[in-house]
Amino acid sequence: MAKKKKKEPSELRDDLKELYQRKSFLLDENRKDKVDKRHAKGLRTARENITDLCDGDSFVEFGSLIVAAQRKRKSMEELIQQTPADGLITGIGSVNGNDFNEEACKCIVMSYDYTVLAGTQGAFNHKKTDRMISVAKKAKRPLFFFAEGGGGRPGDVDFDIITNGGLDISTFVEYARLSGVIPRIAIVSGYCFAGNASIAGCSDVIIATENTSLGMGGPAMIEGGGLGKFHPKEIGPAQMQYENGVIDILVKDEKEAVAVAKKYVSYFQGSIKDWTCSNQEDLRNLVPENRKFAYDVFKIINQLADDNSVLEIRGGFAKNMVTAFIRIEGKPMGLITNSTRHLGGAIDSDAADKAARFMQLCDAFGIPILSLCDAPGFMVGPDCEKTAMVRHSSRMFIVGASLRVPMLTMVLRKAYGLGAMAMAGGSLHESFFTVAWQTGEFGAMGLEGAVKLGFKKELDAEVDPIKKQALYEQLVKASYQKGKAISAASFLEFDEVIDPKDSRKWIVTALQSIPKLEKGENRRMLDSW
């Protein structure tokens, strides 16, 4: 049977022609001046980003026909042409549809449109945001939010009679209520200030481009507050916000931002069937035989995980703690580990915050956590205590004690004191398993410090510097022999000493042994920090 020819808009009845005519003002091809200005800055339009994010033509747009609340200032014709969709594009689309089933790939997508009144938050686009948040609650699917924009819009005058400052709007509280309910990914490029920045800050993760300026107040607000004049690029530049932990993932441009966002959400969409991994025997030689040498923990992570499955989170901040998503045999996992190249892997306030918040993120969405421990302990000293170390370090114990997902702990080398316990969820027996590579070493504190404290009298009694050093080294060696993994295993503080090449076998066995979290068991809130 022959297919009926699809009718062109010109052949349609008048009311449908009117609809298509109205919607034509939304299209980039009919807004050439605005699009050209955007491209001249090396940036993409909101619709180009959405097209890149969503599979094929899967995006279904909600609320496209609204315009800015400025009917008292402009004609309807002007508003239709100048403020399409009121500067906020929203809808549902499929993301990563080639890897996951139809339900898993559906996502909520929202994007401020900087070509419309600088991506500001207008009265009607707040209303649209609230509507899409209610849709997101019902759908329980991940939400992407392209957050670029200048914050609140003072020029929307149509609602002046019923509101003063708009302080009763529900957008921010309703978006915040999605915390821990669905994954929320903020993507930022260019200028993002005030209310737009709050949306980004309330999100689970912020992916930003190198040209981003992200701050709670833009130039106008800063000048209005009597704080001086600043160019937007001086306010919250991307590199600064990456190093202080505000930006989780820093990328070159919007194309890379979208690619990374798709990879990020994939960990929450489920397991993948096709995977490969490197030769696991190579793990045997990645921890140096000299226990005092630092090493590149990323070589271990990339060797252990499935090929091309590692995505580091918050890599510019607290580099002594690494947090990342990985896959093992296609199954998504969160990973925390110490980096000996920074502070020797010791856990300071920033590292504790970074690990605790990432553990919350994994727990909220049922993702098991793998801890690769090489912790000489928590940082100590007068300067460290100025950073509120007592409170910050405790976050790892509080979060670890409330985890609903399993934690799997592998000791790569050092497992000393409270820091090691925190890396295992609070206790070496709190993890589903705690195993050590043959390079592992255990103790209540670092061997060198323990010897200096525990044998102070003996060391002080020896006046000959050469003999004192020889005695010290002898005592350290004896302590190491007692605390090294093979010896410490006899006390059953942990479960087993393993050949590094068997690490994936242990992980897979655990993942196959533990039931998944049932819906409704997830926590309701993630720290914004």
**218-237 tens-digit pLDDT:** 888 888 888 899 998 999 99
**For the chain, what is the mean pLDDT?**
92
What per-residue confidence (pLDDT) applies to 462? 75
Q: Are 151 and 221 in contact (CB under 8 A)?
A: yes
Q: What is the mean pLDDT of residues 195-200?
A: 96
Statement: residue 460 has pLDDT above 90: no
Give the rounded percent of residues in the chain with a pLDDT score beyond 90. Answer: 76
Give the rounded percent of residues in the chain with a pLDDT score beyond 70. Answer: 95
Neighbours of 166 (CB within 10 A): 16
CATH of 14-268, one of 3.40.50.10860, 3.90.226.10, 3.40.50.150, 3.40.50.12160: 3.90.226.10
To the question of pTM greater than 0.95 for the whole model, the response is no
Q: How far apart are alpha carbons 150 and 131 in whole angstroms?
A: 21
Query: pLDDT band at residue 341, thresholds of 50, 70 and 90?
Result: very high
List Cα–Cα distances, 2 to 5, 6, 7, 9, 12, in angstroms: 9, 12, 15, 22, 21
Neighbours of 191 (CB within 10 A): 25
Statement: residue 163 has pLDDT above 60: yes
Which residue stretches of 155-269 are H helix? 171-176, 194-202, 219-224, 238-243, 254-269
Q: Are 441 and 291 in contact (CB under 8 A)?
A: yes
3 state SS of 257:
helix
What per-residue confidence (pLDDT) applies to 26? 95
Strands (E), 438-517: 441-443, 496-498
Q: What is the mean pLDDT of residues 268-282?
A: 96
Q: Are 206 and 188 in contact (CB under 8 A)?
A: yes
**Strand 441-443 relative to strand 205-209: parallel, antiparallel, unpaired?**
unpaired
Torsion-angle region of 146 (φ positive above 0: left; ψ -120 to 50: alpha; else: beta):
beta
What per-residue confidence (pLDDT) applies to 445? 76
Domain 272-440+484-513 indexed as CATH 3.40.50.720: no
Cα 439 to the center of its chain, rounded Å: 31
Statement: residue 364 has pLDDT above 60: yes
First vs last C-alpha separation in the chain: 61
What per-residue confidence (pLDDT) applies to 523? 58
Task: Using alpha carbons only, give the angle 37, 43, 49 rounded to the nearest 5 degrees.
Answer: 115
Statement: residue 193 has pLDDT above 70: yes
